[in-house]
Structure formats: structure tokens, C-alpha cells
Structure 1
Amino acid sequence: MTPPKGAPRALSPTRDHQVGLPARRAAASLLDAVLQKRQPLDDVLARARDRGYMFDLPVRDRAFARAIVGASLRRRGQIDQVLTTFLERGLPAKSGSLYAILLSGAAQLLFLETPPHAAIDLAVRLAQWDPRAQRYDKLVNAVLRRVAEKGGAIAAALDATRVNTPDWLWSRWVQSWGEERTHAIAAAHLIEPPLDLTVKSDPALWAERLSGRVLPTGGVRLLPKGRIEELPGFAEGAWFVQDAAASLPAQLLGDVAGKRVADLCAAPGGKTAQLVLAGASTVAVDMSRTRLGRLGENFERLGLKVDTVQADATTWQPDERFDAILLDAPCSSTGTIRRHPDIPYLKSDKDIAELVALQTRLLAHAVTLLKPGGNLVYSTCSLEPEEGEAQIAALMARNSAIHLDSIRPDEPFGGTEWAKNSGCIRTFPFDLQLGTPEWSGMDGFFVARLKLAG
């Protein structure tokens, strides 16, 4: 196929695979899509693997590309300050992928211990490959050489937790949680998170097989090592990926065996699978056909069956009401930045306001789908009180028939610090300390359990 006029030149597969250029090209392309086009990293990664720059990359090169992207996003504040020091005239306008090339090159030099000659030479080649950036190839060379020589000292002198957190999030968290806790949140975001699994049975066995450890939640935690699809137990559906905090909402519905339960906004289906495994007669509702398709694929691998409904959960009218409802609502996802370091650069205060309005509608309608005496668990993977505590307070102020079914401190698997005086759960990225930073942490979640008057 002939590339469009002005498209980047093709690379030599044999030689470029040997020198690592395709992995760096993929990393720069991913960063450009996230930071310039504001596309979610998971989406652009999926496209790159299916039909893009990562399609024919060896596993090792794919991992390297992801490592570059992760370091670039987690440490963007530090890297930007280092680059600004050496870009005397600032970043040239209309320079194509120049910023992504400099950002990813500096990330390799400052945080991935890449040999300078490799990081710099290949960054220059990337610039020469992009028609809009190629005239700045000498600038790339000069700036990254200075980064290699002096950038480490500049980066180390900065407050990493502060400069790597965008101002809009920092000010929000300081107001909501205080300066000390905000520093702890931001520090957790700088660490590559472990991988958490919910297993269908025998957590101890799977912890041993996967060289992991059993969590207080009953899941298994392991350090990332290669492709998830190649781990023992994946193909036979013995487990599914789910952060420790994300496993709490479904479990806090209690004994759901034999009960009719609706999981609203269900895809990709981790919480739905928990409900099915617990014996609930479950209906999974999501308005996205694509996301429901992904849920179906996950359930096929797990060997589980569930009724699915494609519908808007703010207006859906089933034939009968439910004993229990799980509403893990769409949210800003600021509690998952440790796993999704693109979020600070994709979301804004305006997005949060729009999501709060959606959550309000979802909650109000979910209550109408409950049988008298039924339970509703509401959760968000957000650190913003407007999407958690304030939503529940507002719901109970509007509807006197619904009241808080307080979560006891001993319910979340001994995690007494997660159950607050409010009767709700609030976890932070720095919670669940397991000895060393790489084994520790969990997503930031809010969970409330409500009951409708009988």
C-alpha cells in the first residue's frame, strides 16, 4: 500500500529491529496520540497492537515501548522542566512528533538507564523519519546530549511528587485530603503497580504457581512479568485481572446466592464475574455494544454465563425489580492513575462536573429498580469527593426511602483503615502496604452500601 503524501517513511524491518528503533517509534507515536490528540492510552495501545506500530514487534520490544511511555507520563513534570532548561527558545511550533521524541528520549536517559548513545542516536533517527520534525534533528541531538550530561541532577533536585502532578489535581487533593496525604497519593503514582488477580478458587495454589502472594481481599498479587495472556491459568480461565480495591464493591453486597442482581455499567465485567461466581442470578447492563462484546469474550474465557442487556442505565426499565444492584459508575478514574498515568492529561474539572451529573442520574434511577428492602452498592474509582461522599449525601437528602447500610470496619477483610466513620469505604493509592513499594498499593476507590426501605 502506498503511504499518503507526507507520511513517515517506511523502516527497514531487519536492521531497525536490531537497533530498537521500532519500539521507540511506537512509544513516540503512543505519546503523541495521548498528549496531542487526547486519546486514552488503553485505546491507542489496543490499536497499535492490532494493526499499528506494535503489531509485529517482538514481546520484548513491546514491553520496552510500554516502559518508555509509562516513564514519560509518570515523570512528565520532571522531564518537562529538564527539557525547558535546555530548549532556549522553547519548543518549535508545527514540529510534528518532536515533543514526543524529546520526551521519550529524556525518559530513557533519566529514568530507564538507557545507554546515552542508543537513546540519542535513535531519537535523532526518529526525528529524521518524521517530515515535520526532520529539520530539528540537530536540536534533538544537542538537547538530549545535555539531558544526558546534566539532566539527572536537575531532575533529582525537584520535588517529584509535586512536579509530576498537574496543578488542577494537586489543588483538588490538597483541598480534599490535605498536603501530607496528597504527597503520599502522588508518590504512589510514580511506582509501577503490581498485577492483581481475582481467582475462581484456591488463591494459595495460584499464588504459588504465579510466584505471587495472597491478598487480604482473597485475590492474588504478583509483579508484572511478560504478557498476561501467557501466564499460567489465563487460557483456562482460572482468574481475571482486577485490582484489590475494585474487588471490594461486589463482595460488600454480601451473600447474593440465589438473588436477582443487576450490575449497571457492567463492562468489562470483573465485578459481574464476582457476582456470578457468588451464585447470583445476574444481569449485566451496559450501553456500549463494544464493551459488552468485550465482557462476552471475557466470560467465554472464564467459562461463565450471564444475561447481558445493551441499554442506558439512566432509563432502562426491566420487567421486574432486583434484590440487589451494583452500580460502579463512570467517573474521572483519578483513583487509578497508578495504572493509567495518562488520566491527568486527559481529564479536567469540566469532565468531573459532567460525570457528577451522570452519576446523579444513574443513582436516582438505580433506586427505582430495587425491590423494597433491597441493597444498592455504589462505587467509583475516583479520589474526588464529589463523585463519592457528596453523591451519597445528596441522594439521601433527595430520597428519604433510601438510607446508608453502614459498612463495618471488620467487613473489608481486616482492612479497618478502609472503612471510615461515615460507614463508607475510601481507599487511597498508598493503602495496602506489603513491605516494599513494588508490592504495595491499591486503586483509590469509594464504596457505599445503601438499603431501600421495606
Structure 2
Amino acid sequence: MPSQRFARPTEVPGLAARRIAADILDGVLHRHRTLDEQLDGAGAHPGLKLLDDRDRALMRRLVATVLRRLGTLGHLLSRLLDRGVPTDAPRAQSALLIGAAQILWMDVPDHAAVDLSVRLVQSDRRAAKYAGLVNAVLRRCAREGRTIVDDVRSEGLDIPPWLLARWKAHYGEAAARDIALALGQEPTLDITVKSDAGAWASRLHGQMLPTGTVRTLLQGSVTTLPGFAEGAWWVQDAAAALPARLFGAVEGKAIADLCAAPGGKTAQLVQAGANVVAVDRSPARVARLRDNLTRLHLEAGVEVADATEWPGANGGFDGILVDAPCSATGTIRRHPDVAWLRQHADFAGLTGLQARLLRRAAAMLKPGGILVYCTCSLEPEEGEQAISALLAETPEMRRVPIEVGEVAGLAEIVTSDGDLRTLPCHLPHPEPRLGGLDGFYAARLVRSA
């Protein structure tokens, strides 16, 4: 549990949100805890329950902005600090990061960003001696910071060098740079609607994408938006909504959704008329999946099981969706902690699991049955190479190329092999905040009769 005390009735407005943001940043950067585990569930920060909706939204945006711009912020502070960031007081580091992020990328007056960061260090025993330093550095940031940041805007500093090098090798220098820039944008709210996407786009002050997803810039608690309580729609990135559509007409067909939680793709398949069994190994995630289906008034079979060992119905499914656990590097714009928590060594375990899931799924298909494999990863080992390996060792499986017409005519997201590959820089828009997609890979295979 973080050592800092939480909000007090007489506390300066906004300070509690910044204190909790600093605790959570410390959790990511120094204790290697994910944002998800610190924001939700049993491991959530205990101070969150004391924040109102406005301060909770502010806290989330503070954390996300710092993590999206962490490399640039590190460069900036190295220029503004003669002796580097203090290493004996994590709260001083967090206060500098949060203050600079507000000055440069958030709609917060400079004086407020400086004052609240100073108060943040003053309230911490180890960091209090750095209050004068924080004040001086952030005032200098307000004067000089934008020029320093503009000078390095195109250098990809906000992606760890080892990860950016991988993208350059696989996608080329220009595409890797575009990916890095796209990941720096705050993402939109994308939703999948049951029907009448155009009407919902109007009600939610958004727009309907070519793929049918509704995209909006509305912020705040999703649960208060029109249509949520009635189960008219669910949150799902536009790219994440594509793999389930690759089965084509599914009405009356038996489909297994492996690694299904939180259930967006299950909901798509059920809404389209399929008889779905959703499988996930995590009881907590399955509980969330059940809650989502209940809200959406949709029914599916749900099982808590390890999909690599699940008996299922050997040879009995018309279709199987494998939304495999992966490095999630395609989701960094929504989960910016991923960039700083992932390590190159993580890939070996993940690719082994993906291979086992693919082999198990292939064995559960009927002759003529369709397997759709997808990951929210930009890494070829978790996408193209995984499918190539399965095809090489399983001659009864063959690829069914995806046609451009199946993905709303977006030719740039279909590879030369006929697979799906979305990049964060795809689907550009004159308003940068309305552009972009999560990075996804998907392939469609069929089992020979």
C-alpha cells in the first residue's frame, strides 16, 4: 500500500488526484506494476474511492500523459537539471514528471502545475528538501520546455529504443516513426453498437468509421453515457472489432471464443446469431465477461478453463476465435505502461503459449471449420510467424485470404498474404485525436474437409 496519506477535507483542490497519480507512476516505474492492477480490482489504489469522477479522470490523464511522453520528459529534465533527477526521493521525480506533463501537454495553467507539484514534494518527508528545485525546474520548463520538446519531436524518444528498433526492422524507418508518433496521441473512445451506428454516432457527438465503429472524443465515466446502462453498445477499439467479422455469416453456428474476456468479441458473435462458448482461465476476468453479457442482454456459454487444456468438443466447432495473450504492444496508446513494462525476454513465453493455443484450436475444428487467430501485438513473432509455423506443421490447415471488401475497403490493413495488420498510424484524420487504430494482427484459416 502506498505510504502517502490520501485526501483531506481541507486539502487544496486537485492535490489528491496528483498524489495518487504519483503513487501509481511510482508503481509502474519502480515496482513494475501494471496500470490495470493499480486502477481496478483487489489491487487498486485505496485512495481512488475518495476521488470524485472529475478528479479520477484527471488522475488517469496525468498518469497516461506522463507514460506516453516518458522518453521526451526524461530528455527534457536532463536538459533542465544540472545533476539529473534526484534518485533518493521518488516523489520528487514524480512531481517533476507530472508538473512538466501538465505544462506541455495538458490544459492546466502553468502556475497551477508548478504550485501543486511543489506541494506534492512538500508533503513527502524524503522529497521535501527538493521543493525549491522542483519549483525552479518547472518554472524554467514553462519558459523553455516547448522549444526543447519541439527539437526532438521526430526522434521517437517515447518508445524504448529496443522496441523501436524492432519496428524499424519489420516495418521500415518511416512506418516505425509514424507508429511512434501515433502512440503519443490520447486515444478516442471507440464503441461497437448493436444497431443503428449512425444514430448513436449523433447521440454521442462522434462519427461512424468506415468499419461501422462509432468513435467519439467524449470523456468521463463511460457508465454515464447514453445507451450504456441499456446495453446498446460496448467499448471496443475499431481494430479489435475486425477479427470477429472474419467468420462471415455465423447465425446458428457453434463458435468457441478462446481467451475471451472481457467479452467484446464474444458479444459481436452472439449479436450476429452464433452459439458461442466463451473460455478464459481467469475467474476474475470471467466474472467481468458475465457482467458485460448481462448488461448487453446477450447469452453465451461461459467456462473458466485453460484453453490449451480445455476438452471442448474435439472436431465439433464450426469456428474458433483465438484472441491470444500477447505482448500487447499494439495497444500502447491505450495502455502506455506496456511500453515501459515489457522486456524482450517476455516474447519466448508468449510465443510458446500462442503456438499451443493454435494447435489446440486446430484440433477442435470441424472439417471446413474456420479458425481466426488474432493478437493486439505489433511483433511478427506473435502474428505472421506464428501462423507460418502452424501452417508448416499442420497440413490440414490452409489460409483463407481476407478480401479488402471485408474490411471496409481499407487496403492498407490487408497484407500481401491476405492477413489483417492494422498499425496505430492507420486511419489518419485531419484532427489527430480522431485518427489511429490499435495495432492488431489477424489471420483466417480453414480446416480441410
Answer whether TM exceeds 0.5 for this pair: yes
Identity of aligned residues (%): 50
- 1:44 is aligned, of 38, 42, 45, to 38
Alignment root-mean-square deviation, CA: 1.8
* Corresponding pairs, count: 448
Deviation, structure 1 residue 363? 0.6
For residues 91 and 410 of structure 1, the distance between their equivalents in structure 2, rounded to whole angstroms, comes to 52
- 1:114 is aligned, of 108, 117, 124, to 108
What is the 5 A alignment of 1:194-205? 194-205=188-199
Deviation, structure 1 residue 402? 0.7
- Is the CA contact 1:84–1:90 (under 8 Å) kept in the aligned structure 2? yes
Larger mean Cα displacement after TM superposition, 40-49 or 310-319: 40-49
Relative to structure 1, is the Cα distance of residues 307 and 161 closer, same or farther in structure 2, using a 3 angstrom cutoff? farther
- 1:8 is aligned, of 4, 13, 21, to 4
The question of 1:401 aligning with 2:399 is answered no
The question of 1:174 aligning with 2:168 is answered yes
- Is the CA contact 1:8–1:131 (under 8 Å) kept in the aligned structure 2? no
Relative to structure 1, is the Cα distance of residues 281 and 346 closer, same or farther in structure 2, using a 3 angstrom cutoff? same
Deviation, structure 1 residue 209? 1.1
The corresponding residue for 2:420 is 425
For residues 399 and 63 of structure 1, the distance between their equivalents in structure 2, rounded to whole angstroms, comes to 48
Q: Which amino acid in 2 is paired with 1:420?
A: T
Unaligned runs of 5+ in 2: none
SS in 2 for 1:308: strand
Q: Which amino acid in 1 is paired with 2:301?
A: D
- Is the CA contact 1:48–1:54 (under 8 Å) kept in the aligned structure 2? no
For residues 57 and 31 of structure 1, the distance between their equivalents in structure 2, rounded to whole angstroms, comes to 17
The corresponding residue for 2:181 is 187
Relative to structure 1, is the Cα distance of residues 220 and 8 closer, same or farther in structure 2, using a 3 angstrom cutoff? closer
The corresponding residue for 2:223 is 229
For residues 275 and 80 of structure 2, the distance between their equivalents in structure 1, rounded to whole angstroms, comes to 61
- Per-residue CA deviations over 1:301-340 (Å, capped at 9, x if unaligned) read 1111111111111111124521110001011111111111
Q: Which amino acid in 1 is paired with 2:373?
A: Y
- Per-residue CA deviations over 1:106-131 (Å, capped at 9, x if unaligned) read 11122224323221221121112222
The question of 1:63 aligning with 2:60 is answered no
Relative to structure 1, is the Cα distance of residues 113 and 215 closer, same or farther in structure 2, using a 3 angstrom cutoff? closer
Larger mean Cα displacement after TM superposition, 61-70 or 278-287: 61-70
What is the 5 A alignment of 1:124-163? 124-163=118-157
Relative to structure 1, is the Cα distance of residues 10 and 378 closer, same or farther in structure 2, using a 3 angstrom cutoff? closer
Q: Which amino acid in 1 is paired with 2:226?
A: P
For residues 163 and 44 of structure 2, the distance between their equivalents in structure 1, rounded to whole angstroms, comes to 33
The question of 1:308 aligning with 2:318 is answered no
What is the 5 A alignment of 1:354-433? 354-433=349-428
Relative to structure 1, is the Cα distance of residues 7 and 417 closer, same or farther in structure 2, using a 3 angstrom cutoff? closer
Q: Which amino acid in 2 is paired with 1:38?
A: H
What is the 5 A alignment of 1:243-392? 243-320=237-314, 321-392=316-387
The corresponding residue for 1:241 is 235
Relative to structure 1, is the Cα distance of residues 65 and 410 closer, same or farther in structure 2, using a 3 angstrom cutoff? same
Deviation, structure 1 residue 96? 3.3
For residues 51 and 81 of structure 1, the distance between their equivalents in structure 2, rounded to whole angstroms, comes to 29
- Is the CA contact 1:48–1:55 (under 8 Å) kept in the aligned structure 2? no
- Per-residue CA deviations over 1:112-152 (Å, capped at 9, x if unaligned) read 24323221221121112222222322222222222223222
The question of 1:24 aligning with 2:23 is answered no
Relative to structure 1, is the Cα distance of residues 9 and 204 closer, same or farther in structure 2, using a 3 angstrom cutoff? closer
Deviation, structure 1 residue 167? 0.1
Larger mean Cα displacement after TM superposition, 44-53 or 117-126: 44-53
SS in 1 for 2:319: strand
Larger mean Cα displacement after TM superposition, 286-295 or 86-95: 86-95
What is the 5 A alignment of 1:432-451? 432-451=427-446
SS in 1 for 2:412: coil
Relative to structure 1, is the Cα distance of residues 68 and 411 closer, same or farther in structure 2, using a 3 angstrom cutoff? same
- Per-residue CA deviations over 1:200-230 (Å, capped at 9, x if unaligned) read 1111111111111112212211113221111
Relative to structure 1, is the Cα distance of residues 448 and 201 closer, same or farther in structure 2, using a 3 angstrom cutoff? same
The corresponding residue for 1:207 is 201
TM-score (norm 2): 0.95
- Is the CA contact 2:24–2:63 (under 8 Å) kept in the aligned structure 1? yes
Deviation, structure 1 residue 373? 1.4
Deviation, structure 1 residue 198? 0.5
For residues 174 and 277 of structure 1, the distance between their equivalents in structure 2, rounded to whole angstroms, comes to 39
For residues 41 and 92 of structure 2, the distance between their equivalents in structure 1, rounded to whole angstroms, comes to 22
TM-score (norm 1): 0.94
